A and B are shown apart, each in its own frame.
Chain A
Amino acid sequence: MAGRRVVVTGLGAVTSLGKDLRSTWEGLVEGRSGIGPITLFDSSNFRTHLAAEIRELPEGVEPPLRRRLSRTDVIGLAAAAEALADSGLDLDREEPARIGVVLGAGVSGLLDSENYLRALLAKGPRGARPTRVLNHPPDQTTDRIAERWGFRGPRSTITTACSSSATSLGYAADLIRHGLCDVVVTGGADTFARLTHGGFNALRSVDPEPCRPFDRRRKGLTIGEAAGILVLEEEEHARRRGARPRARFLGYAVTSDAHHMTQPEPTGEAGARTLSACLAAAGLNPENVDYVNAHGTATPQNDSAETAAIKRALGPRAYEIPTSSIKSMLGHCLCSAGAIEAVATVLTIETGIVPPTISWGERDPECDLDVVPNVARKTRVRAALSNSFAFGGNSTVVAFGAA
């Protein structure tokens, strides 16, 4: 199966900046913030009150089913529909067994199951309606997508917290490279819940203000919601049907820090190991890399450790490469962060526009890369990396290149 190469032929997105790919990308290029007051639950008892919520859910799921679905499944299906339409695939002419679905997920329908658990605590078993607890499993969106379009290929849901959907892209590409699929619908969807807000607050990792990646004053992240779906396809398969690839998937690396459950390895050694492994897998050297889509959560520890990792892996070239965090606009979309950031990375390569790191005002000597402060930039991007680091020391870096 050597020689099977992977291209991106379809993209879909639902974010706090818009309910489709175009509005999301316009928002990112204009440097708009999707962050605002929390509306999905009462946050008055929490220390912080901001999130990048999706204000308006997309249409496209018929009402009887929509009532049963979690928010996550609704945005996941909508982004998948957009990505499949964007790919131009005529599904009537495709073999369903050759189409796989691999997503990253985790929080998923937790908000639904939180409502059950709260009712259970308050009113006992008779007062709690359990049916929507079944929306909680993270593999729900993956199965919903396969069910809706009748895909019969391999399926998987990666659940490694904040690196989930980045790793899903690698798994998806492997299915194509190894000849097990011609097309894989991949990426992820994740939404907001009390648990994630409460959890990051308990860790004192949420900034009371909108998050400020790479800024000296940064105090932590802002949680976001997003679905980002990519249609990956075998290059010859795409060529035969006359599709125009948006970009190439060049390679990825997935590793373990073996350091700490919540703290990044501070010297950047572990992150650099992942970055270097990704460059090797993608056949790149630092000179070919023109953009790094940073993990850039805006926690004090992540941004300095990530900067150190990029410098270790890319050497002096690191200072010449624009390195931005779109979490400054979309918040940290947790298990779908890697997916929506991959969508943005592909569009960056395609359009040559690097989205900025907004809310940036004060330079941090430990975050001294070119973070594309506040305003998007036009430049040529031949190849780009996107970083994802998670609780548990799960690290993934993916590489895309021009088609």
Chain B
Amino acid sequence: MKGPVVVVTGASAVTALGRTLPDTRDALASGKSAVAPIEGPGVPERRDRSPAARIGSFTTEPELPKSKARRLDRGSQYAMVAARQCLADAGYAMKGREERTGILFGTGSAGAGPLTEFERQMVESPESASPFLFPNTVSNAPASQAAIELGIKGPNVTITQKDPAPLNALFYGRMLVADGRADALLVGAADEWNLDYHLAYERVRATRTATRPGFVLGEGAAVILVEDEDAARARGARIAARVASVVSWGAPVSPQRRRADPATLAGVVRAALEEAGAAPGDVGLVHLSRNGVPATDSAEDAALASVFGPEPPRAVSIKDALGENPAIAAVQLALAADALRAEPTLGAVLVNAFGAGGNFLAAVLTAP
């Protein structure tokens, strides 16, 4: 598809390295990492424990009063704060635009906290399990809670498709804007860390420990505001970046396996560059999919070597510091837009998201 022109006019992130995008960016630039041993009540003793990149104590204020936050799960709290920050960053006033504004989120874990707590209560007594928990067990809780709070009445969709889910949301969102279903979309992801699932992933040897490689579970939320270019210009918005391409390829891989062949990944990257009308030399920055899984990391390295040759662009790997899940892929989109806003001479930023199960996506953002 020669994609419709959509632009990014705002970006935000709530991460384990900071509750705003600038804080996160600065912490990453100074080499900080949020990856730490997991502690706290309920963490069983084990020598070879996987670490995680967790947010720890968190307040939704000033974006959302505590009284409202109390009723929300962690993922929805992150989403709400990130969505409000993003709209503020974009200078976007919702009033009068409710029906022309949509929200498209990716998630891998939204609802995990309320879900495991509800299960716990049901084991004790099925009939006394809290009716307040159940509605937030759904994956669309973060996006829909944000839509309710912000008054968004346009398209509202949540996608779960492995770690690249927010790129998937962007891929769909461009079609929604092109078809005139919305002028502006909050596109992002929200995820919350959950002990029960952490222990499961650790037991199936998917996550990293001191003695074996693997990924690290992260959490947070990040959002970009994408708008139809004409609509953005009409409201006098400052354009941070253009969404020049989003490419989505599948490969037949077992759902939980992280396997990729370099030629396929190179094909995804080449397709993303071609659709963006960018040559390899135009790319000033690459956000790597790299997450610590040897098979996919080495395939990505080989793919980039074949596309970019001996003089590759600067590449950054934020999952070393923030962990892996859809929210972190959304952080990469937010950082890519932010980098182009600060430094348009970067030209093009490539964001790779190569997930388990053969879900391979890449996006190219360019300077406006």
Q: Are B98 and A125 in contact (CB-based, < 8 A)?
A: no
Which of these, A151, A200, A259, contacts B250 with CB under 8 Å?
A: A151
Contact with B along A245-264 (1 / 0, CB 8 A): 00000000111111111100
State whether the Cβ of B261 lies closer than 8 Å to any Cβ in chain A: no
The range of chain B's interface size is: 35 or more
Chain A positions within 8 Å of B139 at CB level: 106, 138, 159-161
With contacts A179-B1, A394-B156 taken as known, whether A152 is within 8 angstroms of B250 at the C-beta atoms is: yes
With contacts A147-B254, A156-B168 taken as known, whether A256 is within 8 angstroms of B204 at the C-beta atoms is: no
> With A and B bound together, what is the CA distance between A141 and B120 in angstroms?
27
Choose, from A16-24, A83-91, A128-136, A231-239, the stretch at the interface. Answer: A128-136
**Total contacts A-B at CB 8 Å:** 238
Q: Are A130 and B204 in contact (CB-based, < 8 A)?
A: yes
With contacts A202-B129, A255-B156, A256-B155 taken as known, whether A154 is within 8 angstroms of B248 at the C-beta atoms is: yes
In whole Å, how far is A402's beta carbon from the nearest beta carbon of chain B?
24
Choose, from B170-178, B210-218, B346-354, the stretch at the interface. Answer: B170-178
> With A and B bound together, what is the CA distance between A148 and B44 in angstroms?
38
With contacts A257-B153, A392-B156, A394-B144 taken as known, whether A174 is within 8 angstroms of B172 at the C-beta atoms is: yes
Q: How many positions in chain A have a CB within 8 Å of any CB in the partner chain?
A: 79
Q: Are B140 and A390 in contact (CB-based, < 8 A)?
A: yes
Chain B positions within 8 Å of A118 at CB level: 119, 123
State whether the Cβ of B148 lies closer than 8 Å to any Cβ in chain A: yes
Q: Are A256 and B161 in contact (CB-based, < 8 A)?
A: no
State whether the Cβ of B152 lies closer than 8 Å to any Cβ in chain A: yes
Chain A positions within 8 Å of B306 at CB level: none
With contacts A133-B197, A143-B359, A261-B144 taken as known, whether A152 is within 8 angstroms of B252 at the C-beta atoms is: yes
Interface of A is mostly: mixed
Q: Are A152 and B151 in contact (CB-based, < 8 A)?
A: no
State whether the Cβ of B12 lies closer than 8 Å to any Cβ in chain A: no
> With A and B bound together, what is the CA distance between A156 and B118 in angstroms?
28
State whether the Cβ of A352 lies closer than 8 Å to any Cβ in chain B: no
> With A and B bound together, what is the CA distance between A178 and B3 in angstroms?
9
In whole Å, how far is A115's beta carbon from the nearest beta carbon of chain B?
10
Chain A positions within 8 Å of B203 at CB level: 125, 130
Chain A positions within 8 Å of B103 at CB level: 256
> With A and B bound together, what is the CA distance between A198 and B137 in angstroms?
12
State whether the Cβ of B91 lies closer than 8 Å to any Cβ in chain A: no
In whole Å, how far is B228's beta carbon from the nearest beta carbon of chain A?
16
Q: Are A134 and B204 in contact (CB-based, < 8 A)?
A: yes
Which of these, B99, B152, B153, B200, contacts A130 with CB under 8 Å?
A: B200
Chain A positions within 8 Å of B256 at CB level: 134
Q: Are B131 and A143 in contact (CB-based, < 8 A)?
A: no
Which of these, B159, B196, B201, contacts A120 with CB under 8 Å?
A: B196
21 A/B residue pairs, CB under 8 Å, sorted by A: A100-B250, A130-B199, A134-B204, A134-B255, A143-B253, A147-B253, A153-B250, A154-B250, A157-B161, A158-B157, A159-B140, A160-B144, A174-B179, A198-B129, A199-B135, A201-B127, A202-B127, A202-B130, A255-B156, A256-B155, A394-B156
6 tightest Cβ-Cβ pairs between the two chains A and B: A392-B144, A199-B134, A256-B156, A159-B139, A143-B255, A154-B248
